[in-house]
Structure formats: C-alpha cells, structure tokens
Amino acid sequence: MSSIELRDALDDLGFRALSDDLDEVLSHAATEALSHADFLTRIVEMERKDRARRSLERRHARSKIGAFKPMSEYDWNWPDDIDRELIERALKMRFVEEGANLVIVGAHGVGKTMLLKNLAHQAVLSGHSVLFVTAAKMLGELSAIDSPSKLERRLKHYSGVRFLCVDEVGYLSYDSRAADLLFEIVTRRYESAKSMALTTNLAFADWDTVFPHATCTIALVDRLTHRADILKIEGSSWRRKESQEWRQREEET
C-alpha cells in the first residue's frame, strides 16, 4: 500500500491526525525505536487530543456564542450591587450538571450579555452542547412556523441542547403564541432537567408587559425559577460609561 493509499485509508477510518502527520509519526517511531505498544500509545494519544479539539470546535460553532469579552475584563467595581460569589460559582458549571437554571436581571448595559456568553463558553469548554440565542430571534422564528412537523423539529432543537442561553427577555413585547412557545420550551427543559440561563431587564412581576395577553406567564415564571438562582445586577450602563470616555478622549485630541 502506497503512502497516499495509506493516508486515504486512515481518513476513511477517521484517523485524521495520524493521516495528517503520518510521515512525522513513522519517522519518530523509527528514530526512537518505539515498541509496538509505545507506537500504538502515541497514536491513541494523538487521536484522542485531535478528536477532543475537533469536538470543542464543533460545539463552539454550534453554540452561536459569537464574540465576547472574557471575564478577566469584567470590572467588578462598576456595578453598585452584584453577587460575585454567585457568578464564580455558576462558572464552575455545577448548576448545568444539576439541571438548574440561572436568571440574570439588570438594567440595560450592566453586563448581562457578557456574563451570559461567558457562561455559555465555559459550558462548551466543559463538554456540554450549548446554544446562545436572543429571545427575539428564537420566538420570532418559532412564531413564524406554520407547519406542525417543522415546529416540532425546532422545538426539539431548542429543548434538546444541554444548556440553552436566552438573551434579552423583556426588551420587546410578544403575543400569546410566543408566550406559549416559550412556555413549551421551558416546560420540556424542566421535565428533562436541562439547564437554561436567561437575561432580562425586568422583574418577574413586570413580565405581563412582555406577554400582555398571555395566560401562561405565571406558570412560565414558576417553572423557570423553581430550580434557579436569580442574579440581580444594579448599576449604571457600562456601555454608556465607555461611550463617554471615548468622547472625552476624542475631545482631548
């Protein structure tokens, strides 16, 4: 079998790392006079690392997290009130493993989305399937579907991932159908002990302004918060602060 045929065979069998570095691996085995067991051990370690890397890349791509600032850049002194201990505990992902939820409540610009994306990223690193989506995108998509079978597939899509992150509940109002669809997703995840993290700018008592004509709002909040930590952030807009600082620098130059 030629080297080209061998590489093709390795690709067919899924040994992509070995196929890519075949010449180097064979050269190293010959130079170091590796035993059969040592040679196989190196191949196994190489493939294990490569498959873990590719799995991480796939999970991250599917998560739709997008760009975000890491927690190392978060200014803990900026909010007037924030439970840092709760955030650091959440970043350890135990609540995801337990099937619990996290709701982040705060005004516009206090860093809710940044925290949510960091949680999503940490879940990806921990090996979980993750999906990050805004409430507007998810509910708009589901509400527009008029095929029962297609709707069921999309509900399974949002209900099936291990960790669902829904951003910006409360910035728009929705009709009763959207409320029922969100309730369905929350219920399915509740019954299968799959975690959600959600950001909102409104207290739960004000959710009737988000779903003004819905009858399921109380039940929705009840199931969402039954096994959940509530993180409240109080303070001024960080983005407004950065904008003011940028304008000040521009004026000085």
Q: Is 114 part of any domain? A: yes
Largest interatomic CA distance in the chain: 75
Does residue 21 register a pLDDT over 80? no
Q: Are residues 95 and 180 in the same domain?
A: yes
Contact predicate 116/132, CB 8 Å: yes
**What's the pLDDT score for residue 57?**
84
Contact predicate 104/115, CB 8 Å: yes
Helix (H, G, I), strand (E, B) or coil at 229: strand
Q: Is 248 part of any domain? A: no
**What's the pLDDT score for residue 2?**
74
Q: Are residues 101 and 185 in the same domain?
A: yes
**What's the pLDDT score for residue 68?**
93
Domain around 164? 71-241
Does residue 22 register a pLDDT over 70? no
**What's the pLDDT score for residue 150?**
97
**What's the pLDDT score for residue 120?**
98
Q: Is 246 part of any domain? A: no
Does residue 18 register a pLDDT over 70? no
Q: Are residues 7 and 81 in the same domain?
A: no
101-106 β-sheet, strand order: 130-134, 163-169, 195-200, 101-106, 228-233
Query: Dihedral (C-alpha) 51, 123, 95, 110: value to the nearest 10 degrees?
Result: 170
Residue 244 token pair: 């003011």
**What's the pLDDT score for residue 226?**
95
Q: Are residues 194 and 93 in the same domain?
A: yes
The predicted model scores a pTM of: 0.80
Helix (H, G, I), strand (E, B) or coil at 111: coil
